[in-house]
């Protein structure tokens, strides 16, 4: 039946099939369904792809390549931020230490360092008097 | 300039040359995808995916076969992956307008038919569904062989090269596919 539909049969064979189809409703039904399937496929083949397909494909390729480049920067940004913050804190501490040792530091006088706290009069003694 | 020259230029960085390949092969890839999904919208999406995948793996194209054969393989694999993903859950939650028997198909049907008789239109629409269901019920290899043969009208030699099987195996697959289609369509016809 497929060979008949695809016109691959010799004229004699074709005539035999046609004779048979006239008398056999089952084979006629099979042939009808085969023709229907061919028609559906032929109709689908008439459809055309999106006319802007090539532009869309090139656009998507460009955007995916740009995204890959910006993706690297996106990963690098928090690393750079953390590093710069750590560097700022480090230099702040270093600068702070430099100013402390540069001359403003005054050592405690010996008299004050040697005060005996236990020998000092308590405030209670003063209030009683 | 043949395909290999164009590919060499693309690999050197001339991305715009890829447009030439897309324009040359878009109809071919679209037909193959349509043979699997039977829906213009899905076939357009798939065609786009196929060309992006092909671009991304262009450096892997060694030129042992024709570029079209290589592209057909990508199109067949992408289409089979797409239909495998259509699990019952996906079918349940997919958006209206993306099924194989959907509005697009009806629009397509109405465009092609002049009959004003609604009953006739409904019957023919049902027939289209039968054909699609019969094609969808075929095992993957038979389906691939029948799509490449019927939709792309490729000779058995080329189908064998795309599917990486012998010509005899293609012949056997086509015979079995046609027999299965006959049985499925015959069963559909007997229901009415």
Question: ipTM score here?
Answer: 0.77
- The rounded distance, in Å, linking the Cα atoms of A58 and A51 is 13
pLDDT tens for residues A38-65? 888 998 999 999 999 999 999 999 888 8
Residues of B in contact with A1 (CB under 8 A): 182
**B61 touching chain A per CB within 8 A:** no
Is 0.90 surpassed by the pTM of this model?
no
Confidence of residue A115 (pLDDT cuts 50, 70, 90): confident
**Token pair of B178 as six digits:** 């046609």
CB contact under 8 A, A45 and B182: no
CB contact under 8 A, A33 and B185: yes
Other Cβ atoms closer than 10 A to A113? 8
Confidence of residue A31 (pLDDT cuts 50, 70, 90): confident
**B101 touching chain A per CB within 8 A:** no
Q: Which of B59, B42, B189 is nearest to B126 (CA)?
A: B189
Please say if the pLDDT value at position A106 is more than 80.
no
pLDDT of residue A110: 76
Instruction: Compare CB distances from A54 to B15, B22, B127 and report the shortest one's residue.
Output: B22
Say which residue, A27 or B46, is predicted with more confidence.
B46
For chain A, how far is it from start to end, CA to CA, in angstroms? 134
> Please, are residues B137 and B187 in contact by the beta-carbon 8 Å criterion?
no
Say which residue, B53 or A70, is predicted with more confidence.
B53
- Show pLDDT as tens, one digit a residue, over chain B (192 residues): 889 999 999 999 898 999 999 999 999 999 999 999 999 999 999 999 999 999 999 998 988 899 999 999 999 999 999 998 875 555 554 444 444 434 344 444 434 445 557 777 777 788 888 889 999 999 999 999 999 999 999 999 999 999 999 999 999 999 999 999 988 888 776 665
H helix or E strand, kind and range, residue A43 = helix A25-44
- The rounded distance, in Å, linking the Cα atoms of A2 and B119 is 29
- The rounded distance, in Å, linking the Cα atoms of A128 and B18 is 104
CB contact under 8 A, A37 and B134: yes
pLDDT of residue A91: 92
- The rounded distance, in Å, linking the Cα atoms of B185 and B133 is 9
**Token pair of B168 as six digits:** 């005899």
Nearest-CA distance from B178 to chain A in Å? 8
CB contact under 8 A, B31 and A45: yes
Nearest-CA distance from B29 to chain A in Å? 9
Residue A121 DSSP symbol: P
Buried b (16+ CB within 10 A) or exposed e, B62-90: eeeeebbebbbbbbbebbeebeeebeeee
Say which residue, A22 or B118, is predicted with more confidence.
A22
Other Cβ atoms closer than 10 A to B121? 15
pLDDT of residue B90: 52
- The rounded distance, in Å, linking the Cα atoms of B168 and A38 is 24
pLDDT of residue B104: 45
Helices and strands, number each (H, E), in chain B: 10, 0
Nearest-CA distance from A82 to chain B in Å? 35
Q: Which of B49, B44, B18 is nearest to B31 (CA)?
A: B44
């Amino acid at each position: 039946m497929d060979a008949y539909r695809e016109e691959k049969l010799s004229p004699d064979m074709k005539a035999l099939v046609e004779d048979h189809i006239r008398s056999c409703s089952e084979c006629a039904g099979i042939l009808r369904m085969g023709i229907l399937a061919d028609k559906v496929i032929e109709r689908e083949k008439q459809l055309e792809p999106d006319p802007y397909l090539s532009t869309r494909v090139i656009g998507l390729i460009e955007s995916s390549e740009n995204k890959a480049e910006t993706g690297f920067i996106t990963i690098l940004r928090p690393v750079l931020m953390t590093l710069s913050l750590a560097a700022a804190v480090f230099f702040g501490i270093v600068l702070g230490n430099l100013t402390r040792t540069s001359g403003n530091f005054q050592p405690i006088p010996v008299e004050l360092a040697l005060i005996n706290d236990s020998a000092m009069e308590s405030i209670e003694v003063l209030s009683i008097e | 300039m043949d395909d290999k020259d164009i590919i060499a230029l693309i690999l050197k960085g001339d991305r715009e040359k890829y447009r030439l390949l897309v324009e040359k092969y878009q109809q071919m890839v679209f037909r193959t995808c349509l043979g699997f999904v039977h829906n213009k919208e899905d076939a357009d999406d798939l065609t786009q995916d196929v060309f992006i995948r092909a671009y991304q793996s262009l450096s892997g194209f060694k030129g042992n076969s024709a570029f079209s054969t290589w592209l057909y393989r990508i199109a067949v694999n992408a289409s089979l992956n797409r239909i495998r993903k259509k699990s019952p859950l996906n079918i349940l939650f997919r958006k209206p307008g993306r099924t194989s028997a959907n509005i697009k198909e009806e629009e397509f049907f109405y465009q092609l038919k002049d009959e004003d008789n609604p009953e006739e239109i409904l019957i023919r629409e049902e027939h289209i569904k039968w054909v699609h269901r019969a094609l969808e019920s075929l095992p993957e290899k038979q389906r691939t062989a029948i799509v490449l043969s019927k939709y792309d009208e490729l000779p058995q030699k080329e189908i064998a090269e795309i599917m990486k099987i012998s010509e005899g195996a293609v012949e056997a697959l086509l015979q079995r596919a046609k027999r299965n289609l006959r049985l499925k369509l015959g069963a559909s016809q007997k229901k009415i």
